[in-house]
Amino acid sequence: MCVRRKPVVVVVLLALLGALGVVVAVNSVGGKIKLPQLGPECIVRADGEVALDLVQMANAATITAVGLRRKMPERAIIIALATAFQESKLENLDTGDRDSVGLFQQRPSQGWGTPEKIQDPRYAAGKFYSALKKVKGWQKMRVTDAAQKVQRSAYPNAYEKWADESTVLATALTGRATGAVECTVSGEPALRGATAAAALAEGMRLDWGKGLNTIEATQSGGLTVAVKDVNAGWRYAHWLVSHASSTGVERVRFADREWNAPDGKWQPVTGGKGAGNDTVIAEVFS
C-alpha cells in the first residue's frame, strides 16, 4: 500500500516566502528600509511582567492617574484596570455591544454620558471610580465581583482573569516599583519642541489634576516636576514614559536613572547628571 506523504517541503517553502514578503513589504522612508517593530513596545515589570503596546500603556497610565487623583486606593485601580482589560483590551473603542463605547464600554443609554464624553479616557475612568465607590463592601470583594457590580456584564467572572496583569500595572504606575515601565518609541516623533512641551504639560495637568502645580518648563525643551518622595517621583516618571509616544518625549530622568525613547530602557545615569530624588525631568525632541 502506497502512503502519500504530505507536502511538508512545499509548506515550509511557502512559509519562508511569506516571511520574506513581510520583510520586503516594510515601509521605505528616505530610501532606507525601516524594519517593523517586533513584539510589544512596552514591558512593565513589578513582581510579574506585562507586555502592552503604546496606546494600551498610555490608557493604563491615565486610568491609574485618575484613580490616584481621586485618592482611590490601589485596590480600586486594580479593579479599574482589570475592567478595562476585559471590556476593551485597554483601547479606547468607538464601538461595542449595542451602544457601548470607550475603555470601559460604558453605554450612553444607561446614563454614563454622551458618546463623546465616554470616549475621553479621563472622564470614563472617573465615572467608573464614582460608580465603584457606591458599591458597598467593594474593598473586600474579588476583583471580578467588584467589577461586575459596576459593569453588570453578561460574563460576570471574566474580569478575574486580568487580576494578575492589573496588579503588576498598578504596582508600577502607582510608583511602588523602580524603573518598571519601559517603552521603546521609534520613528518620527509625534510632536517636537515647544508644541511637544505644551502638550506634555497639559496632559499631565489633565490626568493628575489641579494638585499638580509644580510643573516648570525647562530651557532645553520639556518640563520638570517637583515631587515629595520617591514613590511620587516614579508615578510621574512612569506616566511620562507611558505617554511619550503621543507627546514627543525623548528622555526622562529621575533619581539616578534615565530613560531614552529609542532605547526604551532605564539606565543608570553617570557623571553626576541625575535628577535627584525631588525632581522628575522630561525632555522632548527638539
**Which DSSP string do the residues of 148-192 spell out, in sequence order?**
HHHH--SSTTGGGGGHHHHHHHHHHHTT-SSS-EEE---SS-S--
Average pLDDT over residues 22-35: 36
d(CA 96, CA 103): 10
Radius of gyration of the chain (CA): 22
Average pLDDT over residues 256-280: 88
Q: Tabulate helix, strand, coil % of the chain (nearest 5).
A: 45, 15, 40
Maximum distance among all Cα pairs of the chain, rounded to whole angstroms = 83
- How do strand 181-183 and strand 42-45 relate by DSSP bridges? antiparallel
pLDDT greater than 60 at residue 1: no
Note the pLDDT tens digit of each residue in 61-73.
Answer: 999 999 999 999 9
pLDDT class of 25 with cuts at 50, 70, 90: very low
φ and ψ at residue 109, rounded to 5 degrees: -70, -15
Share of residues in the chain with pLDDT > 70 (%): 84
pLDDT class of 169 with cuts at 50, 70, 90: very high
What does the pLDDT read at residue 213?
Answer: 60
What does the pLDDT read at residue 32?
Answer: 35
Q: What is the DSSP letter of 27?
A: -
Out of 23-27, 169-173, 174-178, pick the least confident.
23-27
d(CA 149, CA 137): 11
Amino acid identity of 260? Answer: N
Question: Among 113, 120, 130, 55, which Cα is nearest to 89's?
Answer: 55
What does the pLDDT read at residue 167?
Answer: 98
pLDDT greater than 70 at residue 3: no
d(CA 86, CA 161): 9
Note the pLDDT tens digit of each residue in 214-238.
Answer: 788 876 689 999 999 999 999 999 9
pLDDT greater than 70 at residue 4: no
Taking the alpha carbons at both ends of the chain, their separation in whole angstroms is 73
pLDDT greater than 60 at residue 34: no
* Alpha-carbon distance values, 182 to 11, 19, 57, 258 (Å): 38, 28, 10, 11
| Contact (Cβ atoms closer than 8 angstroms) between residue 96 and residue 115 | no
Question: Among 167, 164, 143, 138, which Cα is nearest to 83's?
Answer: 143
| Contact (Cβ atoms closer than 8 angstroms) between residue 93 and residue 55 | no
d(CA 89, CA 210): 29
User: What three-state secondary structure class fits 35?
Assistant: coil
What does the pLDDT read at residue 218?
Answer: 77
Note the pLDDT tens digit of each residue in 132-142.
Answer: 999 999 999 99
d(CA 219, CA 236): 20
Residue 13's CB is within 10 A of a number of other CB atoms, namely: 11
What does the pLDDT read at residue 5?
Answer: 38
